Structure 1
Amino acid sequence: MKPSSLTTRLACLFALLCMTVLGVAGMMLYRGLETQLTLRDDAALVTRVKQIRALLQDQNTLQLLHDRPRLFENMMANREVLLVLRFPGEQPLIDINPGGIAVPDLVPVASDVAVSLTAVQRSIDAHGTPFSALAANLRTGQAGRELRITAGRLMGERTRILDNYRQQVVWMALGGSVLAAAVAFILVRRGMRPLGALAAHAASIGIDNLGARLDAARAPRELAPLVAALNAMLERLAGGFSRLSQVTEDMAHDLRTPIGTLLGQTEVALGQARSADYYHALLVSNQEELQRLSRMTANMLFLARADHADTMIEPARLDIAAEFARVADYFEGLAEERGLRIEIACAGQVWADPMLLRRAMANLLANAVHYADAPSTIVLSSRADADGVTLAVENAGPPIAPHQLARLFDRFYRADAARRDSSQSSGLGLAIVRTIMALHDGSAQAASSDGINRFSLHFRM
């Protein structure tokens, strides 16, 4: 099922919010109106009972009530739905009840107590219509006899008013919600236009114009973080594409040299019959070139695997001096051939993957043995502080320019372009070192000053 658009969802949410607000507001107004109407009707009922009390205080009126009850019925019938006047235990003097309402059993207000709203008792008749009633006694002066006044009223008019009002509230909430949804849809659609423009601009950026950036100045304030994030992503993509292009060019150049050598030597050998010694020398030369290709392929495969986020390492606590000694033993012969001496001045431990640490150390030491001035000493050292552990390889050699130091750890980069054709280097050794340190959440750095080149590995605590 295709998901609904953001505009539709926002419009529906706004309509639902409006319906809720209008419904709650209408319900509160409905309850307020119901309370006011109830108080009005109860007050009218209390006023009528007070008026009847005051009217019957006159003995002449009471006598007239005995003599001509129909007169009072005609006077009161249009004003009250229920009115019963009776002496307890006797037939009613007046019984006005055109609706045939069952007279409830009420507790009367004493004759010497003022009638108030608290005396009104409410109930619901058989048809569900609210009914209010009030009973009060009146001392007549006839040997202490008390006349009971029972008055009541069905709230049919109030019920009809409230029903009509409730229907209006419902229709107002529904109509307001529909109107709000339509208005919200139009406003949100107009408000989303900048996002559409950004999407179109982003879609127009391709390989040919990776340098283009989204215009943050024309974007709404709410979209500024999104624009900044997209521009940062484009910056990373442009940088990555540029590096990939450079790596591809360098790799093609490095592959072309051994492949060209292999092809050239093979074509020469096939040009005419050769001696066995010539073919033996050719195979030895080809073997060296193939070994170089194999090393380059293995290094590229390692870097490609290390770039994946799921690459895992198995760190352990390692003795720094023992690891440096292990790597130095391997390069001892090569160092002596060039008149170099390896000195180990380190102590302590480091938390790292054993195989990866040895590979990083070996690459740094191989680099130092290859480029150090002879005779000189290569120093392997370590330093621990509150921030972590730093391992360093120092050698005397030609100074490295500052702009070259920043790129030494890039793939296929060589500080000396004249060594590009060297069969001993693929330009990936320091790139592998940096990748290994990234896997350890550490860093690799290079420095050159006073004729000393220093390569260091920093492991964070």
Structure 2
Amino acid sequence: MSAAAPRPRAPPSPSLGGTLSLWLGLQGLVGALAVAAAVVAVNAWTLEARQADLLQVKSAIVRQELARPAPAGAAHDLQQHLAAFLAGHEAMSLSVRTVAGDLLFDSITAAAASSNARPVRTIAWRDRWPGAGGQPVDVVLGLDIGADIALLQRVAWIVIAASVAAAMLSSLTGYALVRRGLRPIRALSAALDEMTPSQPGARLPDRGQPAELVPLIQHFNALLARTEEAYRQLESFNADVAHELRTPLTTLIGSSEVALRRSRSLDELRDVIAGNLEDLRRLAFVVKDMLFLSRADRGARARRTPVPSLAAALSDIVQFHEPGLDERQVALVVEGDARGDFDVALLQRAVANLLGNASRHALPGTTVRVCIEPTTDRVRLSVVNRGAPIDEACLPRLFTRFYRDDPARERADAAHHGLGLAIVAAIARMHGGTAFARSRDGHNAFGIELPTSEHVASAAAVGTRR
């Protein structure tokens, strides 16, 4: 048999601090580069505007020189004036040609040769010079912008380097701040490591924690409380189940051992088997009810069908319990009616359990009332009887499995296994409703409140999960 192939190792989880620091650095870099681009763009616009203004001013001077009166053939005087104009302006160049192509003045060639063909920004126009007989001349005025470009490049490199340095500094300081900010999470992790099952009631501290962590801590503590309560209920449930099953099993074993000690007649064996059969049926009822509660806990839903009259649907159950109540001198009445979508079989079982509970505890000579109280989208179904008052602290626990509120009731209910009201609560949950119990002025009421349709029940369930 070949050995199983080793499972591939899961990739390591990314560090929250490292991820946040990286994003802070990238964010800082993008922001700094955006600022750098804006600085470079503003400088470029400023330099271009200065160049354009300078060319406009110098072109106006050249126009004035060309507009001066000059006799024909005075090209030498024009060249002297234009050379004087360019004196002290090494970055400027000028070319003046007639439309016929005759060169009157040209400083571009010499400037270009001396500047190794540096970038030049030019402005050109057509003018008239009196010395050429009033013929048009083409003028090209140039400005060497190499120094401005070099300045702009230096500014760009400086701001880019500053941006990268600022991003790195932001990432490093961000990493330090993130580690400092995550210190409470590491403290909570250490506190979780110290918590063990042998410390019931231990909770994570929420005092002095950051505001963002307080809701998480509170929800986690609430989850711990619910988990502990579930474990307590499970342990209590296991103990109760063992107690409920132990008595009939002990009886079965004892009666069987007694029957086998000596020879018995057929009638005696029949009596033993009949007694054992009664205990076995009780065990079967306990197991059946436990299986039903298990399905309800796993999320089983009621199978709803339209019910035009809830009172009529429950009439068979009411009639079944009337003889037993009559024996105890207790009357039974049904008050109210409602319609809606319900699982009739489940509601009949719930009402049967409620009536069984009321019949055991109702005072003789009183009346047990089955009350059906409809509202807009819900119906309240309850069984009310007069009996011994129930402690207010016990009411929320009466729907717990195997719970009995006092020893007197436990002795009175020895023939019942204590799952009736728990099943009532489960049937309410399967309909998307709730169970309730109240005891006031000698009147004890147990019942369920249900949505009248599946749509309302689903909406209520969604609201509860939120």
TM-score w.r.t. length of structure 2: 0.83
**Equivalent residue letter for 2:321:** F
Q: Could you tell me how far apart the structure 1 residues matched to 2:242 and 2:128 are?
A: 118
> Is this contact kept in 2: 1:81–1:99, CA < 8 A?
no
> Is this contact kept in 2: 1:139–1:147, CA < 8 A?
yes
Q: What does residue range 342-353 of structure 1 map to in structure 2 within 5 Å?
A: 342-353=332-343
Q: What does residue range 185-264 of structure 1 map to in structure 2 within 5 Å?
A: 185-264=175-254
Task: Count matched residues.
Answer: 435
* Identical-residue share of aligned pairs (%): 30
1:304-325 residue CA offsets vs partner (Å, 9 max, x unmatched): 221124x232222322111220
Distance 1:212 1:63, change over 3 A: farther
Distance 1:362 1:195, change over 3 A: same
Q: What does residue range 59-208 of structure 1 map to in structure 2 within 5 Å?
A: 65-66=75-76, 69=79, 76=86, 79-80=90-91, 82-98=93-109, 131-135=121-125, 137=127, 139-140=129-130, 144-145=134-135, 147-208=137-198
1:312-371 residue CA offsets vs partner (Å, 9 max, x unmatched): 322223221112202113323433444443322332324322222111111111212233
> Is this contact kept in 2: 1:324–1:344, CA < 8 A?
no
Give 1:18's aligned residue. 28
- CA drift at 1:260: 2.2
- CA drift at 1:285: 1.9
1:415-457 residue CA offsets vs partner (Å, 9 max, x unmatched): 2324546553111110111121122222222223343322222
Distance 1:130 1:417, change over 3 A: farther
Q: Could you tell me how far apart the structure 1 residues matched to 2:132 and 2:82 are?
A: 20
Distance 1:372 1:139, change over 3 A: same
SS at match of 2:280: helix
Q: 2:433 aligns with which of 423, 429, 442?
A: 442
- CA drift at 1:56: 5.0
- CA drift at 1:34: 0.5
Give 1:297's aligned residue. 287
SS at match of 2:219: helix
Q: Which runs of 4+ in 1 moved over 6 A?
A: 60-64
Q: Which sits farther off after the overlay, 167-176 or 74-83?
A: 74-83
1:194-244 residue CA offsets vs partner (Å, 9 max, x unmatched): 011112223433322231221111211221111121122222222222222
- CA drift at 1:58: 5.2
SS at match of 1:84: strand
1:31-69 residue CA offsets vs partner (Å, 9 max, x unmatched): 101001111222222232233334555557997752684
> Is this contact kept in 2: 1:140–1:146, CA < 8 A?
no
Distance 1:172 1:72, change over 3 A: same
Q: Could you tell me how far apart the structure 2 residues matched to 1:99 and 1:260 are?
A: 125
- CA drift at 1:91: 0.6
Question: Alpha carbon RMSD of aligned pairs, Å?
Answer: 3.1
The gaps in structure 2 that reach 5 residues or longer are: 1-10, 453-466
**Equivalent residue letter for 1:316:** T
Distance 1:246 1:135, change over 3 A: same
Q: Could you tell me how far apart the structure 2 residues matched to 1:176 and 1:156 are?
A: 30
- CA drift at 1:74: 8.8
> Is this contact kept in 2: 1:210–1:234, CA < 8 A?
no
- CA drift at 1:191: 1.0
- CA drift at 1:14: 1.0
Asked if 1:44 is matched to 2:54, the reply is yes
TM-score w.r.t. length of structure 1: 0.84
Q: 2:400 aligns with which of 401, 410, 419?
A: 410
Q: Could you tell me how far apart the structure 2 residues matched to 1:424 and 1:129 are?
A: 110
